[in-house]
Amino acid sequence: MMGLIKGMGVTLKTMTKKKVTHKYPDEPIPMPDRFRGIQHLDPDQCIVCNQCARVCPTDCISLTGHKHPEKRGKVLDTFDINFEICILCDLCTEVCPTEAIVMTHQFELASYSRDDLYKNLEWLHQNNSGIRSENNVNARGVKKK
């Protein structure tokens, strides 16, 4: 009997406390600003220096570019990340000299096909929600969308 009363006491106390559960996936979970989620790429800021691909510990970045026809520097043609093996370690964004690649709050990559885990330049460019506030400006200091 005492056990039942004790148990009911715990239940009643817990019922009045603030809920710690989330209605995920119906309601998105707010992530902390420095959360390391799937990358956003701004191709206009990329100088095709290849540093992100060279530092990547799992070798999952591949990119190509060509010489700019009119001025110094290169133009990015393709940029792919294989999320089968990306460990979201943040090294590629740390070395990027122009902040062309940054981490976001996006973490949902579940898929029925492994082929869907190869993300290209267009996909990475559109993946632009939840960029860390410190990275959410372009080279001209203008806020990204």
With contact defined as beta carbons under 8 Å apart, do 143 and 137 qualify?
Answer: yes
State how far the Cα of 134 lies from the Cα of 34, in Å rounded to an integer. 9
Distance in angstroms (rounded) separating the CA atoms of residues 2 and 125: 61
Sites for ligand SF4 among residues 66-105 (CB under 6 A):
81, 86-92, 95-96, 98, 100-101
Measured between alpha carbons, how far is 7 from 140 in angstroms, rounded to an integer? Answer: 61
Q: How far is it, in rounded angstroms, from Cα 53 to Cα 55?
A: 6
Residues 47-66 contacting ligand SF4, CB under 6 A: 47-52, 55-58, 60-61, 63
Nearer to ligand SF4, 8 or 58 (CB): 58
Minimal distance in Å, beta carbon 138 to ligand SF4? Answer: 13
Q: Binding site for [4Fe-4S] cluster: residue ranges?
A: 46, 49, 52, 56, 86, 89, 92, 96
Binding site for ligand SF4 (CB under 6 A): 46-52, 55-58, 60-61, 63, 81, 86-92, 95-96, 98, 100-101
